[in-house]
Every structure is written in structure tokens, then in C-alpha cells.
Structure 1
């Protein structure tokens, strides 16, 4: 069974949950185990930090949480077989892009999903930033333009 780390900005808004779930259903249909960083149990810790009245203490609490989340994401990427990054929008999500690059650097296949019809690459015909596309292709992965195309 293939383990897929789902790199995406799709947890920042509850409105994106249905899109994220649709991607996960496709991966499930392919028999993949999905590692979704948005399912990590950090929400209560974030809410506790948000309630801290002292600004400096709140910032320090958020920095500590950020390190914990970053380390948890690193561990999941190290343990997965491949990374699938959601790359929609006029500007790619920096977190998803960094996770694709990190995985490619580890020698893991990285894939992209871009359902957005707007290309925003460095040159005509490039869907997005040339370096991100390079890491995907150099890792042995590819770009999917529809959820239904996803296959490994």
C-alpha cells in the first residue's frame, strides 16, 4: 500500500474541506494511505496559545507550536512513499511547495495537482513556477490537472 503525504493549504478554511475530502476519496479509491497534516491534533494547543493575553508570551507559544507542527510534518514526509501537493491558485502555497521540494530532496516521488485553469508560470505553457515543476518531474512524479487523473 502506497503512503501519500497530502501537501496543501486546504485546512486554512472550512470551505475547502470538501475539496480536500474529494482528493482523499480518490487516494482511498487507489488503495493509498493518506497522511494529512491537517488532521494533526494541534487545534487545542493553538486555541490555548490564542487565549494568552500577553503578546510576547503568545508569540513565543506560537513559535513553539510552529516548531512542533513543522517537525510533525517533517516526520510524516520522511515516512511517506510519495508527496501529492495541491497547487491551485495564482500563487502557489509556500508550505505545500516547500514540502514538495523537501520530499524530492529526500529522493521521494513528488506529484502535483492543479485543477486551476489559469497558468501562472515563468514562461508560456508552464502551469506554475518552473522550479516547482522541475522538482516534481525530476523526482519521477508528474502534474495532474484533474482529481480523476491521479494515479501512481
Structure 2
């Protein structure tokens, strides 16, 4: 059985990012055997010329967060993208496993312990939360990190 993971990211808003950055993440997650739900490609069937498209996109994305087995969020930026933060909050409220990616060296925090807003870490374990935070795309496949351990424990 293939597990689904929602890829929360702002990388679909820019043609450069969509072409160069987004496929790397989709490929890295898919290489683990995950079915990657990337909202920009999943919403490509929506006609953005029709009134009400934004509401339909938001509803579809929220439903995908509900239906996915886990969420992987790219949280670069100071602050990170607000849509990604809402998707993360929804996943946390639904008790979904969450995994964070941040290779942005700038600190964006209200705490000395965490690199981002402390509320993002409420969805991670108190101990070893670092295992759920990825700073390099090659670490996504690391058996020492939480995503691979989650996959093996839910196989």
C-alpha cells in the first residue's frame, strides 16, 4: 500500500521554482515510494478564469491535507509562506505526521531552541524534533530521519 504525502510549498507560484525546485522535492519523496500530492499540479484542472476559482483551490487543498497520510512542508522564508503555515496547522489539528524542510539560514523565531515559530513544533515530539526537520534535500532518504522511520513503521 502506497502512502500519500501532501507537499506544502510556495514553489508553484514562480515558473523558475516550479521548473527547477519543485521537481526535486517531488522526486525525492516519490523515490521513497510515497504518492506525492503536489497541490499546484493537482489543481491544474481548475479554470482560473472562472469566478470563484480561489475558493475551489483552497477547498481542494484543504481536502487533500485531510485525505493525505502525512504532510511535508517547505518552510523557507522569514516568515514562511502563509498558505504553507495554514496547511501545516490543519495537518497538526488532524494529528497528521508532519515533516519540515528549511535550508534558509535566516532565523525566524521567538525561541532560542527552535529555528521557526515555536507553534510549528507543537506538531512534533518534544524530544528529537530535529529528526523531523530537514536542512538538505538528500536527507529526505536518510534512515536516521523521521520520514523514513515513519514509512517503515507504517509499511
Deviation by residue 1:101-148 (Cα, 9 ceiling, x = unmatched): 10111111111100112221112342111111222447x882111111
In the alignment, which of 118, 142, 151 is matched to residue 132 of structure 2? Answer: 142
Deviation by residue 1:59-98 (Cα, 9 ceiling, x = unmatched): xx2xx21210111112211111000110011211111011
1:37 touches 1:73 (CA, 8 Å); kept in 2?
yes
Which has the larger share of helix?
A: 1
Give the unaligned 5+ runs of structure 1: 50-60
Q: Which has the larger radius of gyration?
A: 1
Number of matched pairs: 136
Q: Could you state the TM-score of these two structures normalised by the residue count of structure 1?
A: 0.81
Could you list the runs of 4 or more consecutive aligned residues of structure 1 that deviate by over 6 angstroms after TM superposition? none
In the alignment, which of 16, 35, 38 is matched to residue 37 of structure 2? Answer: 35
Q: Could you state the TM-score of these two structures normalised by the residue count of structure 2?
A: 0.80
| CA–CA separation in structure 1 for the residues paired with 2:135 and 2:16 | 21
